[in-house]
Structure 1
Amino acid sequence: MDKRFLVHFLAVVDEGSISAAARRLQLSQPSVSNTIQELENELGCKLFTRGRGMSLTAGGRALVGPARAALRALDAARWAIEEISELQSGELEIGCVVNRAIDPLSGLIARYRERHPGINIRVRTVPIGLRGFDDLARGNIELLLNETPPAATGFQMLSLGECEVLAVLPPGSRFPDRPFRLEDLIGRDWISGPFPGTAGRSHLNGLLAARGLPYIDSVVETAHRQMVLPLILAGVGGGILPSGEAELAERLGAVVRSFDANLPTGHAIYYRSDDPSPAAQAFLAVARESRESTTVRESEI
């Protein structure tokens, strides 16, 4: 099969339309449309339903994972044949839960791009918990940044240690210059991101229950993670954020305090047991180096 078929097919999948895919590929719309028709003729089935956009059929959905895997295999073969010492081109697909996108993923990507500017990175949001492993199992992503410990099996894991969470209060909030106690959570308005079911939220609820305290009062609960910090800065309520986001909030005027209780949550990069692509291996190397000061271990779970 012509590699061009798979490249054009995945561009339409990722962009959602022929026109957007053509812009990304810097080709004409008829060229991309003709390629999709040629691929459908070769496979003997429709891959998309045409309407206001391009929606995948059952056959199209079945092709996405193998198509991505095939392109990665072709890239790996090309790199091996050329015996290049540095990654000069290619793509890397990463899945990430929303509360790890800023810290540590943004920093890891920045360091990776400094070293390998020829690699394009595509990041997709995945659900927290076991459902986040679906894309990894199907081959839609190569690396997954998720919380630990999950109950998934069959994946390799590079532990990145623990991520501290901090109390973040609206600008101008009056609070003593001391750590935040669990009792201080009660009676305040809080904004909750998409955290239910995570290790951090479960751990916090367990600590509150152990002290006979009620769960925190969420005046706003939103699945849109990007809303949380603006709402805090607008004075709607406080939030419990990972350290990277809390540092950003403090620079923007929020009042930030550490907790006197142990509230960190672990996080790790997961990948399939078969050989990762050169681009993925290079990203794992950057992740290992970024955690030199912590105990980093790899194991199969």
Structure 2
Amino acid sequence: MDVRQLEYFLAIVDHGGFNRAASALYLSQPSLSQAVQALERDLGSSLFHRIGRRVVLTEAGTALIEPARAAVRSLETARASVAAVHELREGCLDISAMPSQAVEPLTTMIRAFTARYPGVSVNIRAAFTSRDVVDMVRTGAAELGLLATPQPLTDKEVVSHAAREQRFVLLAPPDGPFRAGRPVTCEELAGQRLIVGQRGTGMRAYVDSLRERGIDFAIAAETEHRVAILPLVLAGVGLAVVTDSWRSAAERAGALVLDIEPRTTLRVALISRHAEQSPAARTFVTCALEAIRH
């Protein structure tokens, strides 16, 4: 078994089949199949069920994913450590981020980092909940993660670097029920139609907590696509509770952004693995935290 075979195995998993993986790896499909067959012989177990042109992971294949990612990530870290002598002139850094935090503070973080190290490419991986971000970092699918939670994370699974707090605000159309410049109380949301995100997100947990407190409202729309929220608000479908990372973009689009009282916040954190980090990851954490604290 070698790391190249593990990279091929993960490419099949990530791209959903041999043909797509071969194209992504610039390999012939027979060469890829032979490499996987050699890996299966070494392991003494089949990794995929071949069903026509489709492949489905076996139980052994599923069990291999996490250690394979860890092995590949360790090799990438070793390669990047050697490249560090060239002062990060090239390379790639994978960061998983929740949608709202990918707007801010990730934009500020990446701007500070790429200004110093323009040769390093930052790859942003989508994650919809804080649990998704933690799992991607823990398993090596991403080296760093950016998330927001009501309470600080423990360092049991990942290392957490506190970044900032984001308060909840209300997005409303300019001709909506509330006046610009005036905070809205939680109680005033009673009877309103709200656009909400998926369960597992901080914004959805906040809205659900209002109902638990006896504040009754109607759900006008529920969406996993965070980019749909602002257009739906501007179209008059309903109001939306989001974090203030949306403020600048929403105001430019013409929406009202109103503070909600009492003030409630999420804690934003940059997370990393307990294992050794690549030079790019270590440097990004330093640059990112400096950028948002000044």
- The TM-score bracket by the shorter chain reads 0.7 to 0.9
1:129-167 residue CA offsets vs partner (Å, 9 max, x unmatched): 5x7534443343332322242564423211011013321
Q: How far apart, in 2, do the equivalents of 1:63 and 1:238 lie?
A: 45
CA contact (8 A) 2:172 2:239 kept: yes
Which residue does the alignment assign to 1:66? Answer: 67
Q: How far apart, in 2, do the equivalents of 1:136 and 1:218 lie?
A: 33
* SS across alignment from 2:241: strand
**Structure 2: gaps spanning 5 or more residues:** none
Letter in 2 for 1:14: D
Larger deviation, residues 104-113 vs 256-265: 104-113
**Which of these residues, 125, 129, 132, is aligned with residue 127 of structure 1?**
129
* SS across alignment from 1:147: strand
Which residue does the alignment assign to 1:298? Answer: none
Letter in 2 for 1:166: V
Q: How far apart, in 2, do the equivalents of 1:57 and 1:109 lie?
A: 39
Q: How far apart, in 1, do the equivalents of 2:12 and 2:122 lie?
A: 17
Residues 258-277 of structure 1: pairs in structure 2 closer than 5 A: 258-277=259-278
CA contact (8 A) 1:66 1:139 kept: no
CA contact (8 A) 1:189 1:218 kept: yes
Which residue does the alignment assign to 2:254? Answer: 253
TM-score, structure 1 as length reference = 0.81
* SS across alignment from 2:45: coil
Which residue does the alignment assign to 1:214? Answer: 215
* SS across alignment from 1:76: helix
Counterpart check, 1:185 vs 2:189: yes
Q: How far apart, in 2, do the equivalents of 1:111 and 1:59 lie?
A: 43
* SS across alignment from 1:145: strand
Q: How far apart, in 1, do the equivalents of 2:78 and 2:212 lie?
A: 54
**Structure 1: gaps spanning 5 or more residues:** 294-301
Letter in 2 for 1:175: F
**Relative to structure 1, is the Cα distance of residues 65 and 90 closer, same or farther in structure 2, using a 3 angstrom cutoff?**
farther
**Relative to structure 1, is the Cα distance of residues 151 and 87 closer, same or farther in structure 2, using a 3 angstrom cutoff?**
closer
Residues 192-207 of structure 1: pairs in structure 2 closer than 5 A: 192-195=196-199, 198=202, 201-202=205-206, 205=209
Counterpart check, 1:36 vs 2:39: no
Q: How far apart, in 2, do the equivalents of 1:40 and 1:139 lie?
A: 22
1:5-40 residue CA offsets vs partner (Å, 9 max, x unmatched): 122222222211222222322333333233222222
**Which of these residues, 140, 158, 163, is aligned with residue 160 of structure 1?**
163
CA contact (8 A) 1:94 1:143 kept: yes
* SS across alignment from 2:277: coil
**Relative to structure 1, is the Cα distance of residues 50 and 272 closer, same or farther in structure 2, using a 3 angstrom cutoff?**
same
Which residue does the alignment assign to 1:292? Answer: 293
CA contact (8 A) 2:196 2:204 kept: no
Larger deviation, residues 131-140 vs 11-20: 131-140
Shift of 1:123: 0.9
**Relative to structure 1, is the Cα distance of residues 93 and 62 closer, same or farther in structure 2, using a 3 angstrom cutoff?**
farther
Shift of 1:168: 0.6
Q: How far apart, in 2, do the equivalents of 1:83 and 1:276 lie?
A: 12
Which residue does the alignment assign to 2:106? Answer: 105
Letter in 1 for 2:293: E
1:160-187 residue CA offsets vs partner (Å, 9 max, x unmatched): 1101332111353353233222133223
Shift of 1:270: 2.0
* SS across alignment from 1:239: strand
Q: How far apart, in 1, do the equivalents of 2:178 and 2:31 lie?
A: 62
Shift of 1:195: 5.0
Letter in 2 for 1:187: G
Shift of 1:287: 1.8
CA contact (8 A) 1:102 1:244 kept: yes
**Relative to structure 1, is the Cα distance of residues 145 and 167 closer, same or farther in structure 2, using a 3 angstrom cutoff?**
same
**Relative to structure 1, is the Cα distance of residues 289 and 200 closer, same or farther in structure 2, using a 3 angstrom cutoff?**
farther
TM-score, structure 2 as length reference = 0.82
